[in-house]
Structure 1
């Protein structure tokens, strides 16, 4: 016996497989969830949601090798996932977040020029050279004063304006200004550190990364001492 349903137009009882209602002539359409195209749309939406959920929202280290040449071996894939969660970096590392890449290119110790540009007694200038590559689609603003916090052997430090004139970094701009989409910036920030310091820590939290921040840690053995 055929299944009986009610006509959606006049309410008369009709066979479920009837194409039209014999009482009013209205079409007997199937519910939307029984249409094949309905499930195709649902499948496409689920795939889109799954793809969006996999987007990385943490700063991650950029490898030097060409991405196209990376191996797909499972062990290397697992190692790469661990690297993406890295939050502490050092000299030479490039950190990427949402298309904005920041690299601590070098750390240079300097005694100044011996005349007008000299550090306090028992101290040296530590000059950091930082590169910013804006591969995003938006312009960004960079502020050396607002975005950086420095610690030397656990003690906080203020930037040193005199150190910016050290001969080893002469000609480089201070790390301040705007970087247009697709453009780069190269600049310096300087501090005074004890001559026998062990570890220097630079916390970077630029406004264009929202509440994200990264930490560069520099050991005294890793700095460039050519200016001493």
Structure 2
């Protein structure tokens, strides 16, 4: 029999295709039912994991490149060192030098003569400001003074130099004994500061008007066996050059 619903042939009480009972097959046939949909598969292929980021691989390249550069530099240095050693081993053999010929000794430069004038007792040295005359030199074991006798350190004696100074400049100036630099037998020696007069002379320091003169003395404590006293005057005690020097020996002492 043909099903009035789906139009298919079947046998039995029900249509196996659409389920319509056989009792309804005598009526007006109904349009066939749409084909039974085939079940779709629920299987889906597993999703592939996302590709890992490429940044991590790129980060490793600078480190690898740095290591390769360092290895390259070290290899170059080792190669240079080996070549240097080979060069030393293949250098000129011993005893291959030409015999040395004695050369004539070079003439030693002669010392330039000093432009600083020197003087002795009884002489005068002049610069732009002062004309300094050394008029006498004496030694004293003790200096008698009306108020305060002066004695040197035990085992010493006083060596006194007497000066006559003239201001030859056009302006008043101050003559300062601190501008003197002295040496006894080649050793630096300080001027001794005495409080009183010596043979009527005051210490050589003070104002001197332009064209005028001043007398005074300077004192040192020396050993009885001294041989030479060198006294140099500088226009400026800090920066000035020595402009005059007096050299006194025991044979120049005056009575």
- Unaligned regions of 5+ residues in structure 1, if any? 1-84
Unaligned ranges ≥5, structure 2: 1-114
Candidates 118, 133, 158, aligned match of 1:125: 158
Question: What SS is found at the alignment partner of 2:241?
Answer: coil
Task: Give the deviation of 1:122 after TM superposition.
Answer: 2.1
Aligned residues: 138
Alignment counterpart, residue 186 of structure 2, candidates 154, 161, 171:
154
Computed over aligned residues only, the root mean square deviation of the Cα atoms, in angstroms, reads 2.6
In structure 2, what is the equivalent of residue 142 of structure 1? 175
Shift of 1:173: 1.5
- Which residue is 1:221 aligned to? 251
Q: Could you say if the C-alpha distance between residues 121 and 175 of structure 1 is closer, same or farther in structure 2, counting changes exceeding 3 Å?
A: same
Q: SS in structure 1 opposite 2:210?
A: coil
**Structure with more contact order per residue of length (Cα contacts < 8 Å, sep ≥ 6):** 1
Q: Indicate the structure with greater strand content.
A: 1
Give 1:188's aligned residue: 217
Q: Distance in 1 between matches of 2:193 and 2:130?
A: 27
- The equivalent residue for 1:38 is none
CA offset digits 1:8-49 (Å, max 9, x no partner): xxxxxxxxxxxxxxxxxxxxxxxxxxxxxxxxxxxxxxxxxx
Runs of 4+ that moved beyond 2 A:
113-116, 206-212
Which residue is 1:110 aligned to?
140
The answer to whether the Cα contact below 8 Å between 1:108 and 1:128 also exists between their aligned partners in 2 is yes
Q: Any conservation in 2 of the 1:142–1:206 contact (CA below 8 Å)? A: no
Determine the structure 1 residue equivalent to 2:205.
176
The alignment partner of 2:151 has SS state of coil
Instruction: Map 1:61-140 to 2 at 5 A.
Output: 87-98=117-128, 100-113=130-143, 116-140=149-173
The structure with the larger Rg is 2
- In structure 2, C-alpha distance between the alignment counterparts of 1:218 and 1:101, rounded to whole Å: 18
